[in-house]
Structure 1
Amino acid sequence: MISFIFSCDKKENYKDVEKSEGVFLSGKIIPDSHFLGDQKCKECHQDQFKSWEGSDHDKAMEIADSISILGDFNNQKYTSQGVTSHFYKKGKDFYVNTEGPDGENHDYKIVYTFGVTPLQQYIVQFPDGHYQCLRTAWDSVKNKWFDLYPDFKVVHSEWLHWSRGGLNWNNMCADCHSTNVRKNYDEATHSYDTKFAIIDVNCEACHGPGQEHVTNVNELGKDYVASGSFQMTTDTSPQELVDQCARCHMRREQFSEAFNFEGTMLDHYFPQLIEGGLYEADGQILDEDYVYGSFLQSKMYQNGVTCTNCHDAHTLKLKYDGNKLCAQCHVPEKYDTTEHHFHQPNTESSKCINCHMTGKFYMGNDFRRDHSFRVPRPDLSVKYGNPNACTGCHEDKDNAWAAENFKKLFGEVDSIHFSEKLAPGITMQPDGHVGLIELMHDKQQPDIIRASASKVLSNYNAQNFVEEYITLLNDESALVRGATVDALSSINTTDYTSYFLPLLEDTKRTVRIKAFYGLGGVTEAEIPEVYKESYGKVKQEFFLHLKTNSDFVGTRMKKGDYYLKQGDVAKAIISFESALAIDNINNQIRINLATLYYNTQQYEKAEEAFKIVIEQEPEYGPVYYSLALMYAELNRVDEAIVQLEKAVKKMPENIRVYYNLGLLYDKQQDYKNSEKTFIAGLKVDATNESLLYALAYLYSKSNQTEKAKNIVYRLIELYPNNQEYKSFLNQLERRV
């Protein structure tokens, strides 16, 4: 893509952007005045404007008034999860009375509408520039109020409460629902000054700011040719068009301060890869994954099909109804037949999309189809439990029935699909790593599959596959390079970081920033002279990335992790404390903090943090164990024993708990409970070396020599090369 070159605007003191030096982009923010608005576009593009007007893009966000609001605010009440929301009018304004961040009900004025169909959300203004989306939304198809998450109880103090981070417009929604959005978050005050040029997704959100375009048209007239700043034209390649649409139609992490049409999608965002909990094991949609991550898996994408082959670019509607849409490419005489689909013609069951584009409901009533366009594989459902189109319709049948009948109709599967290698890895099968490694290196596979395989492989301990990873750092796919850097960065060592140095000059900003984070264990003074300039530039990109996303808990934790890599524990603690400040019930942060407090001998703070975790999550066993270890080190043995006894009940399979509890009983000369604890642990793992040795030692010092010898015989049998056990046995035999 050609980088956007802005015209000079002295009035705004905004200078021309110089061409990027090497791979580094300018990062300049586009002034709002460069966006001229849809009415200006309408002057020349009346047909396109007419198509766009009233579309989901046009209605993405509007000022709340009697025209834009679809919901019933005529003194209506709706109750869900014990919370009653009262929707009413006051003069020309619209209000809701509902539970606020303090757990009490308050009156809130509706300032914006969000979306139009199949649901419409409503936005409330909070202090310090925060705008929040109500959890109760309007079903614009069935004309009723409904809860976006009816089965999910959220306490008012949780990050997911509508008044907090989970439904915050500024960071969760704005970037895709308006044009030229700048979030403008201030971490110090936890406040926003979010700005946009156009309230909705207008023409220029896709085609770029119109100022230069209009100027060139006026100056060149009939000689004008769309170029430079003009985006998404008929000359845009299919895959590039997918990337341009993707910035709003994918689950992703942002890496630039604001989208300004420079570079490519991977200079601004990195997509969510396919992994457990977010996607099904075979790559089908599971969580709210949007479209991009699915479409990149498809053969359609690999063969040059793009968004506008199916969707009208301006109305956003499908170009054709029914199987006629697919028949643009797939010969109907071959595919739209009972010999192919085995269902009654002209029924829902005979529609291509119902076999090859299954879907899920999100946000309560929003049905979205999986864009990976896959052949149903009920045989994989039998193995891994992922859904398939067959049992999605035949709800009275099981996966085994579907697999058997699929085989009868279509025969054996005659090709290997990536899902057959991806699913075992995502589900952590013992040999699942084998297929993942094959996928990583198979350049015939979609890039997102190769990148995802790289990411998922790290679940098998990235340390075991360093050589495999290093070979991918120079891969032609930026997605693969980025995922591989992430995997290697998860290893707590600097042994491999020298391989990241060339990536400081990668062509994609996202990869450069990931490489910088991977180099976190290396001080600036240790960077070779040849890379110092690039290191300095990417350092600026990295910290701007952190600053831009510092309203997310994960980013503040990432900052803390970076400082830990740098050895600056004090700054790491500050970063984790700031993360806890915006999500006070996030106990992963609290446990990290407690560990850091403990390591820096801030024992009172560590104890307080551990106890809060226990109070909030009393069934979480590891926290009892951690607190006990701290007590033991502080020689508060009785308290340590109490916590370990609780830990045993919460984690009866954890051998280390038995081991440490037994040792503490021994220290207190409570040999009976010590013996009892070691034996209980051996019932879980009869060959555990530590427990066997501890029990033998206990018998030895309590003069139960024969019992001790029997245990040592077992140790020698299990570990014949350990000379210490043979020496131990000799000592015991000399006692006789």
Structure 2
Amino acid sequence: MTFLKLNVYCIAFLIYSSLSVAAVHVGDQICKTCHLKEHEQWQGSHHDLAMQEANVQTVLGNFKQAKFSKHGVTSTFFMRNGRFMVNTDGPDNKLHDYEVSYTFGVYPLQQYMVKFPQGKIQVLGIAWDSRSKEQGGQRWFSLHPAETIKADDVLHWTGPNLNWNYMCADCHSTNLKKNYDVATKSYNTQWDAINVSCEACHGPASEHLAWSKSKDKQKSTQDKGFPIHLSNTTINQWKINAKTRKPELLNNPEAGKHKVELCAKCHSRRSQLDDNFVPGDNFRNHYLPSLLTEPLYYPDGKIKDEVYVYGSFMQSRMYQAGVTCTDCHNPHTLERKAAGDQVCQQCHLAEDYASNKHHFHNNESTGTSCIACHMPAKTYMGVDERNDHSFRIPRPDLAEKLATPDACTLCHKDKSSPWAADAIKQWYGKTPSGYQQFGSALHALEQQQEKALSLAYGVLVADAPDIAKASVMGYLGEYRSRQTLMTSLQMLNSPEADIRRQALLALQSFPMQHTVAKIFPLLKDPVKIVRLEAARILAAVPRGSLAKEQTDLMNNVTEEYRQTLLFNADRPEAQVSLAELYSQQGQMAKAETAFKQALVLQPKYVPAYVNYTNFLQQQGKEQAAFELLQQGLNEVDDAALYHSLGLWYIRSKEKEKAWKL
């Protein structure tokens, strides 16, 4: 059998090396033939075990008639004819037997997935704690222990927020294609590798195989047939400056940022625009990253919800200087390159930083740890402790003002933030500042404080992280003034795509006659997230007012926007956006169909009711709008629906009914 496999790989090798076609995936077993060391390092890693078929080797949980009870539902995990089964509540709130087809992850928890009709795969809301018993593990537990989740809740394991095809699949398998069919409301999701394999990061390897057979490799591409060059020896080379005793990058820091974007594909909180990403592509041509807004982040940028590292790292001085993920992590094992603080001491000399003069803690204290102070952890999914990658200087002096956690009182639980701030001031003779000076501005903007605008402008002109500037820009549209208009127009020329896009969002609050001429050129922006936002804002511009070249451009980018929405047509958010687009184009039947699709996908989705109601009212269908609002209130008790109903009563001259709501 081994001999047969080897011959198959050799045949594949020759085929790939002889054909001049677009690069394709070849599989980790072919990579292994030349890169055995790297393959062995990768085996057993979180990438390798990201997703597996359920069998006795891969399943960690107890399926020996184990029972787990929560909020009146008792689930039983058992075996049937060698298959892993669970008896639990289904989409009708009744108990059913389900077969576990796949495992998800390995440590500190493992999740399990069940196949449903129409190609859907759902992730159970009960997971296995794979930590040791001594750590509190080796048990079943609920991912939502404080909530009673019924089948009509989006968080129910059979609901949209635990749908693998949309929510999880893109990051746990290689070259995944979702393949959602709108007409049949079904998935034909496929992958080239079930896990995160070699080509997930290096890209399709067929051209690399051709390069490896080339007679003159020196004349071949520097990337050796891959779409991206990942070697640290040419991207990131550091030295310690003898005078400053600080690290200096010998290469262009921008090269490292492209490498970080490769990791960001999965290690970020983002929305997916398509499934055409190839390593080396501009991340923002395929994904829209989330910014520093509630409830994802605290106002000062600390992690709050699950945000998966990239948004935090973008805030750091390290990111700005050109540090990449692989400066600290082995890209194949994913482990840190050195234990504990030693990974930091690659660049930050121990004599200077592993010193009482720096940390002012006893050597036996956890307060000496770089990670404890500069990367405080937060626990997600019940047992998964994750470190904040913004590498910030502790600012307990701001914690109380901004209502954010601080690293000091995470350890000194019996003390207060002012106590910690006083201690730091005594140690250093001053209150530290640091690179991340945007928390006060974001807090003021969120709270709509009087000083918000002046603080916001301060961030925009400061030496501040671009993600912070982009986050600030998103609020400017709420402050309509000549200054905010001019600032937003100016920021359309920013070299950063996130800032340009946020400037567009701010400009949509102003009359179109003041902005359309400035927005139109961004339909040609090289970055997709900017083009799409420009197309969305300009969709209502009458084509008759445009020259033919402008009309063609507008139509092309609007179609690109529509295709992006269709890619996510399995979500109600995308269907509502489609409805709005069709409405602006005068395609009322298509708009109404999209609104209805949104409510089929998620009957409790409030924005669909509100926007659909407005759509009906604009067409004079007041009775239909009233009935729709009643339908919505039967599904979900929500203030936005009562507000819309109140407005309906006022338009109908029934003010007394409006006041009673």
Global fold match (TM > 0.5) = yes
The residue that corresponds to 1:226 in the other structure is 223
Counterpart of 1:160 (choices 151, 155, 158) is 155
Aligned residue identity for 1:581 = V
Q: 1:485-511 CA distances to partner (integer Å, 9 max, x unpaired)?
A: 233235574541221221111111221
Give the Å deviation of 1:270. 1.8
In 2, Cα distance between equivalents of 1:440 and 1:554: 31
Aligned residue identity for 2:256 = P
The residue that corresponds to 2:562 in the other structure is 543
The residue that corresponds to 2:64 in the other structure is 74
The residue that corresponds to 1:603 in the other structure is 622
**Conserved in 1, the CA contact under 8 Å of 2:421 and 2:431?**
no
The alignment partner of 2:475 has SS state of helix
In 2, Cα distance between equivalents of 1:422 and 1:412: 24
Which of the two has higher C-alpha Rg? Answer: 1
Give the Å deviation of 1:371. 0.4
The residue that corresponds to 2:295 in the other structure is 277
Aligned pairs for 1:129-278 (under 5 A) are 129-141=119-131, 142-220=137-215, 223=218, 225-234=222-231, 235-236=234-235, 237-261=255-279, 263-278=281-296
Q: 1:549-595 CA distances to partner (integer Å, 9 max, x unpaired)?
A: 11122211222232344455554333222111111012232122223
The residue that corresponds to 2:305 in the other structure is 287
Aligned residue identity for 2:228 = Q
**Conserved in 1, the CA contact under 8 Å of 2:532 and 2:561?**
yes
Shift in alpha-carbon separation, 1:251–1:438, aligned structure 2, 3 A:
same
In 2, Cα distance between equivalents of 1:79 and 1:437: 53
Shift in alpha-carbon separation, 1:509–1:228, aligned structure 2, 3 A:
farther
In 1, Cα distance between equivalents of 2:261 and 2:141: 34
The residue that corresponds to 2:658 in the other structure is 644
The residue that corresponds to 2:394 in the other structure is 376
Aligned pairs for 1:553-632 (under 5 A) are 553-566=572-585, 568-618=587-637, 620=638, 623-624=641-642, 626-631=644-649
Aligned residue identity for 1:150 = P
Aligned residue identity for 2:48 = D
Counterpart of 1:38 (choices 10, 28, 38) is 28
Aligned pairs for 1:660-699 (under 5 A) are none
The alignment partner of 2:194 has SS state of coil
Shift in alpha-carbon separation, 1:513–1:573, aligned structure 2, 3 A:
same
**Conserved in 1, the CA contact under 8 Å of 2:295 and 2:305?**
yes
Q: Relative to structure 2, which stretch is displaced further, 577-586 or 491-500? A: 491-500
Counterpart of 2:85 (choices 79, 95, 103) is 95
Q: 1:421-478 CA distances to partner (integer Å, 9 max, x unpaired)?
A: 3332233322212222232344x32221111111133344589722210111111111
Aligned residue identity for 1:178 = S
Matched, 1:451 2:470: yes
The residue that corresponds to 2:47 in the other structure is 57
Give the Å deviation of 1:90. 0.4
Unmatched 5+ stretches in structure 1: 1-6, 18-29, 648-736
The alignment partner of 2:626 has SS state of helix
Give the Å deviation of 1:414. 5.2
**Conserved in 2, the CA contact under 8 Å of 1:251 and 1:271?**
yes
**Conserved in 2, the CA contact under 8 Å of 1:232 and 1:244?**
no
In 2, Cα distance between equivalents of 1:86 and 1:538: 51
Aligned residue identity for 2:41 = S
**Conserved in 2, the CA contact under 8 Å of 1:391 and 1:397?**
yes
In 2, Cα distance between equivalents of 1:174 and 1:118: 19
**Conserved in 1, the CA contact under 8 Å of 2:176 and 2:275?**
no
The residue that corresponds to 1:662 in the other structure is none
**Conserved in 1, the CA contact under 8 Å of 2:172 and 2:195?**
yes
Aligned pairs for 1:395-544 (under 5 A) are 395-413=413-431, 415=433, 417-442=437-462, 444-460=463-479, 465-489=484-508, 491=510, 493=512, 495-544=514-563
**Conserved in 2, the CA contact under 8 Å of 1:285 and 1:370?**
yes
Aligned residue identity for 2:140 = W
**Conserved in 2, the CA contact under 8 Å of 1:276 and 1:427?**
no
In 2, Cα distance between equivalents of 1:91 and 1:590: 47
Aligned residue identity for 1:226 = D
Shift in alpha-carbon separation, 1:621–1:159, aligned structure 2, 3 A:
closer
Shift in alpha-carbon separation, 1:205–1:632, aligned structure 2, 3 A:
closer
TM, length-normalised to structure 1: 0.79
**Conserved in 2, the CA contact under 8 Å of 1:213 and 1:230?**
no
Counterpart of 2:324 (choices 293, 297, 306) is 306
**Conserved in 2, the CA contact under 8 Å of 1:125 and 1:131?**
yes
The alignment partner of 2:532 has SS state of helix
**Conserved in 2, the CA contact under 8 Å of 1:624 and 1:646?**
no
Aligned residue identity for 2:278 = N
**Conserved in 2, the CA contact under 8 Å of 1:576 and 1:589?**
yes
Q: Relative to structure 2, which stretch is displaced further, 578-587 or 560-569? A: 560-569
The alignment partner of 2:68 has SS state of strand
Give the Å deviation of 1:274. 0.7
The alignment partner of 1:220 has SS state of coil
In 1, Cα distance between equivalents of 2:505 and 2:519: 11
**Conserved in 2, the CA contact under 8 Å of 1:569 and 1:596?**
no
Give the Å deviation of 1:614. 3.6
**Conserved in 1, the CA contact under 8 Å of 2:209 and 2:225?**
no
Counterpart of 1:114 (choices 104, 110, 114) is 104
Give the Å deviation of 1:611. 2.2
**Conserved in 2, the CA contact under 8 Å of 1:206 and 1:232?**
no
Aligned residue identity for 1:370 = D
Q: Relative to structure 2, which stretch is displaced further, 74-83 or 193-202? A: 74-83
Q: 1:614-638 CA distances to partner (integer Å, 9 max, x unpaired)?
A: 44455x4564454344345445x4x
Shift in alpha-carbon separation, 1:220–1:518, aligned structure 2, 3 A:
farther
Shift in alpha-carbon separation, 1:255–1:92, aligned structure 2, 3 A:
same
How many pairs does the alignment contain?
617
RMSD of aligned C-alpha atoms?
2.5
Give the Å deviation of 1:255. 2.1
Unmatched 5+ stretches in structure 2: 1-11, 132-136, 236-254
Give the Å deviation of 1:533. 4.1
**Conserved in 2, the CA contact under 8 Å of 1:546 and 1:559?**
yes
Shift in alpha-carbon separation, 1:271–1:463, aligned structure 2, 3 A:
farther
The alignment partner of 1:367 has SS state of strand
**Conserved in 1, the CA contact under 8 Å of 2:45 and 2:332?**
yes
Give the Å deviation of 1:330. 0.8
Give the Å deviation of 1:337. 1.3
